[in-house]
């Protein structure tokens, strides 16, 4: 709870970074490769959040993933959290690298002339 003051704004800035880089490099829209990696990133992020279990004074609380899919055990849920968290970091790094090194777009001139 105490680190939320730092983590939430930092997550916002990191999420905004690829958009800022694209805009600065002259892109008007997100290229397909960046959109695909972005989709993988958010699916992995969602899975990592849904697979995290909780703990209270009364005992452990199963993850939302385990509640929806009861055949998913605690070990599998923990593995999903680890793999998806790793995938979140890798996909974010791939997205930033793609954004930084994609060739700049060449848009045609204005439609209908300048007049």
CB atoms within 10 A of CB 67: 12
Contact 112, 33 (CB under 8 A): no
Quick one: pLDDT at residue 34?
A: 93
Quick one: pLDDT at residue 42?
A: 92
Question: Which residue do the tokens 């909780």 mark?
Answer: 54
Quick one: pLDDT at residue 32?
A: 92
Quick one: pLDDT at residue 114?
A: 56
Quick one: pLDDT at residue 112?
A: 55
Residue 15: φ, ψ to 5° = -70, -25
**48: Cβ–Cβ under 8 A, 6 or more apart, which residues?**
80, 81, 84, 85, 88
Quick one: pLDDT at residue 55?
A: 79
* Selection from 35, 44, 47, 52 nearest residue 89 by Cα: 44
> How many angstroms separate the CA atoms of 89 and 41, rounded?
8
pTM, whole model, 2 decimals?
0.78
Each residue's pLDDT tens digit in the chain (115 positions)? Answer: 788 899 889 989 998 999 999 999 989 888 999 999 999 999 999 999 899 888 777 888 888 888 888 887 878 888 999 999 999 999 999 999 999 999 888 777 666 555 4
């Amino acid at each position: 709870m105490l680190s939320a003051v730092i983590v939430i704004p930092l997550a916002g800035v990191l999420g905004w970074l690829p958009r800022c880089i694209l805009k600065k490099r002259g892109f008007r829209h997100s290229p397909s490769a960046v959109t695909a990696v972005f989709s993988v990133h958010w699916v992995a992020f969602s899975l990592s959040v849904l697979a995290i279990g909780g703990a209270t004074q009364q005992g452990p609380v199963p993850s939302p993933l385990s509640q929806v899919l009861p055949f998913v055990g605690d070990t599998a849920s923990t593995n999903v959290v680890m793999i998806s968290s790793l995938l979140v970091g890798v996909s974010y790094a791939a997205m930033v690298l793609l954004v930084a090194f994609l060739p700049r777009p060449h848009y045609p001139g204005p439609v209908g002339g300048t007049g």
